[in-house]
Amino acid sequence: MKQRVAALLRDKFNCDVILEKPKDRSFGHFSTPIAFSLSKELRKSPMIIAEEIANSFGDESVFSAVESVKGYINFRLSESFLDEYASWALTHGEQFGSDDKKGTILLEFVSANPTGPLHIGHARGAVYGDTLLRLGRHLGYDMTAEYYVNDAGNQIDLLGVSLQLEGRSALLGEEVEWPEKYYRGEYLSDLASEAVELFGEESLRDESRQKELALWAKDKILALIVADLKAINVHFDTFVGEASLYGEWDRVMAKMGDGVYQNEGKTFIHSSDFGDDHDRVVVRDDGRPTYLAGDIIYHNQKFERGYEDYINIWGADHHGYIARVKAAVSFLGYNPEKLEVQLSQMVSLLKDGEPFKMSKRAGTVIQMNDVVEEIGSDALRFMFASKKCDTALEFDIEELKRTDSSNPIYYVQYAHARIQTLVSKSEKSLDEIMSAHLHGLSADADGLLFEALLLPEIIEDAFESRQAQKLPDYLKALAAKLHKFYYDTRIIGNEDETKLLKLLLVVALSIRTGLSLLGIEAKNSM
């Protein structure tokens, strides 16, 4: 809708025109300040320019009125345009809000170390990434969802040590000497029990089998992670393991050229050239690669696959890592501007105003599946998508169990269910409703229709700005308008019942489509 108006104005003025929504709907559906930008060029008052432009519009089928107000030009969309667009949306269903954008994008997100179950911090990145994926695909982008599996290095070695010690302590009753760092949680006891059944009790005492146990446990944990992600409707197209990449190390190092150098037996990258506070070690003096080395090979492999753009979603604690990886991308001969990094902040959970207690399965973190068990996937996804991803998020899970307007996902779902109930109660057939013309609507009905038809602009804005929270914000506002309209207007038995129901079906379509893009299925009854 907004795109069509913008395209019409672009053709008229031979330039892109800024379109805004007037705060006072009585001024119309859209407004533009173009007269102010033309004032200097034309050496005229913006009010005179606006008046001249408004008068230049003839019998446009798109507009019922074009008026100038204090230098702004206000556009009121015609009933026939809104009716035509609403009918198209209803008949095209899943295509509503879609586009044919071009471009290939590799989106890497979650990528949690396969050393333990997902915690709520991972969940936030998972929801954000999957929402971006759904938005981008709906707009036509060819996007691949990828999980980078850190299955090499110290964290895997530590997993093997932790598994053996946990098994010897919890299962065999031995006194063990715990290292300063180790993984903990009931999941390790479960894995140790399974390891004993598969490999025998002695496998827990044999240090030479730590690597074998670690790799076996890594695969088991990764399967658990995939299952947890599936439970919140998050799926990946590809998985890339770090360990599989090191055969490319010599070739990639040669490709880096002068981007790396030797000092005191270590290999450094010139990351300070790209804003890092100092150069970073890539290979230690004992020949072992650092975590950064794996990322360098991985990003080389990413860019060699030839996508047009690359998006990484990392935890906020990786902020300082961005300059290092972008430096590597540049030294490898690629454009670092093609790599976009979005950061996901941590989450604080409350229960009845008190910090949410961790389960014994989790160890020192709040497991994602514990939260899903408490509030369900829909509430988790909606809440985690509802705030800008790089800002802190705190919420009380008890609020998401309420069945009233204080619970945002309930409020939105109930709006959709309310519409379905009204349609089922009506004696009007679906054909009658669909063929009704949306002419002569009240100001409130017109405002509700316009809001519902704005969804395509919200989808595009949410994706292109990478601000997924704009979609749940929109759905909450649309649901509020629907509920108010329901209480203020008698629908069943109204002389305009058919067109009011058609209007409500457009609202339901926008809610259903928006929820789907959040990975949530709309409810028809509650």
- Using one digit for the tens of pLDDT, what is the confidence trace for 145-180? 999 999 988 899 999 999 999 999 989 999 988 888
* Closest-CA residue to 127 (of 261, 308, 313): 313
Predicted model pTM: 0.92
What distance in Å separates the CA atoms of residue 102 and residue 408, rounded to the nearest whole number? 34
**Structural fold of domain 104-153+240-344:** Rossmann fold (3.40.50)
Nearest CA among 123, 121, 125 for reference residue 108: 125
Give the distance from CA 183 to its chain's centroid. 29
Q: What residue spans define the domains of the chain?
A: 2-77, 104-153+240-344, 154-218, 403-517
CB contact at 8 A, 478 and 508: no
pLDDT bucket at 358, cuts 50 / 70 / 90: low
Q: Tokens for 12?
A: 């008229």
Q: Are 503 and 448 in contact (CB under 8 A)?
A: yes
Q: How far apart are CA 115 and CA 156, in angstroms?
A: 7
Yes or no: say if 81 and 62 are a contact pair by the CB < 8 Å rule: yes
**Could you tell me which of 344, 347, 348 has the C-alpha nearest to residue 390?**
344
From 5-19, 199-213, 348-362, the region with the lowest mean pLDDT: 348-362
Please give the full DSSP string across 108-153, using - where no structure is assigned. Answer: E-----TTS--BHHHHHHHHHHHHHHHHHHHTT-EEEEEEEE--SS
Can you tell me the distance from the alpha carbon of 216 to that of 184, in angstroms, rounded to the nearest whole number? Answer: 17
Residue pointed to by tokens 């290999």: 267
Contacts of 188 (CB under 8 A, 6+ apart): 162, 163, 166, 167
- For residue range 439-471, list pLDDT tens digits in order: 999 999 999 999 999 999 999 999 999 999 999
Question: Which neighbouring-strand residues pair with 339?
Answer: 310
Chain centroid to CA 182: 32
What's phi and psi for 64, nearest 5 deg? -95, -20
Mean pLDDT of 32-48: 88
Distance from C-alpha of 483 to C-alpha of 1, rounded to nearest angstrom:
24
Distance between CA 279 and CA 271 in Å, rounded? 5
Q: Helix axis angle, 408-425 relative to 377-385, nearest 10°?
A: 120
CATH annotation of 2-77: 3.30.1360.70
Q: Is the distance from CB of 223 to CB of 233 less than 8 angstroms?
A: no
Q: For residues 510 and 127, is the Cβ–Cβ distance under 8 A?
A: no
Residue 25 confidence class, pLDDT cut points 50, 70, 90: confident
Q: How many CB atoms lie within 10 A of CB 522?
A: 20
CA distance 312 to 236: 14
Q: Tell me how far apart the alpha carbons of residues 43 and 80 are, in angstroms, rounded to a whole number.
A: 37
Gap between the Cα atoms of 162 and 183, Å rounded: 6
Who wins on pLDDT, 234 or 288? 234
Dihedral Cα 420, 423, 425, 430, nearest 10 deg: -140
Pairing of strands 72-77, 30-32: antiparallel
For the chain, give the mean pLDDT.
Answer: 92
211 confidence band (pLDDT: 50, 70, 90): very high
Q: List Cα–Cα distances, 443 to 81, 411, 485, in angstroms.
A: 16, 24, 11
Give yes or no for residue 122 having a pLDDT over 50.
yes
| CA distance to 399, 455, 507, per residue, from 405 (Å) | 10, 22, 18
> Which residues pair with residue 31 across a beta bridge?
20, 74
Rounded Cα–Cα distance for residues 349 and 123 (Å)? 13
Handedness of CA 448, 449, 455, 456 (dihedral sign): negative
Tokens 């599989």 appear where?
244
CA-based nearest residue to 424, from 494, 504, 485, 483:
504
CA distance 487 to 484: 5
Contacts of 215 (CB under 8 A, 6+ apart): 151, 156
pLDDT tens for each residue of 247-305: 999 999 999 999 999 999 999 999 999 999 999 999 999 988 898 999 999 999 999 99
Specify the CATH number of the domain 403-517: 1.10.730.10
